[in-house]
Structure 1
Amino acid sequence: MVEWVQYLILLLCPLMMIFCMKGHMGGHKHHEETDITKNLNKKIKYLQDENEMLREEILHLLKSEKKES
């Protein structure tokens, strides 16, 4: 019986370490995802604004081309 308890304690150590490390890393991952999401949202907003400006410029060029014709 004593042998069985020793093996159980020996196996519990790595399992506890795995769960503790996973819990520790999970907290950082959530924070990183928030930063990444904010960064992506800024880039998307920039691209949307740039896209709108380009559309307006294209419309302006098309109108000026029609006037010249």
Structure 2
Amino acid sequence: MEWFSNLLLLLCPLMMIFCMKGMGGYKHHHSHSSNDMDIKISKLELENEELRKEINSLSAKVQKDL
């Protein structure tokens, strides 16, 4: 029965290799290009700045009402 436990021990890494290959391996994590990420970051920075301005204007209104 020792051969059976050794067989199971060897099957684990082999199954992991096949599973990772079936999922696409590590390519899935690098699907976005650097340029796409730069564009997304720029859009988020602009949106963040707009939201900060809106928060400041709302804070000023609240201060005036007090």
TM-score, normalising length: structure 1: 0.50
For structure 2, the 5+ residue unaligned runs are 1-26
Deviations 1:22-62 (A, max 9, x none): 6xx77x61000000000000000000000000000000011
CA-based RMSD of the aligned residues comes to 1.8
Structure with more of its chain in helix, by fraction:
1
Who wins on radius of gyration, i.e. which is larger?
1
Q: Which runs of 4+ in 1 moved over 2 A?
A: none
CA distance in 1 between partners of 2:51 and 2:61 (Å): 15
CA distance in 1 between partners of 2:33 and 2:48 (Å): 22
- % identical equivalent positions: 18
Aligned residues: 38
TM-score, normalising length: structure 2: 0.52
Q: Which structure ranks higher in relative contact order (CA pairs < 8 Å, sequence separation ≥ 6)? A: 2
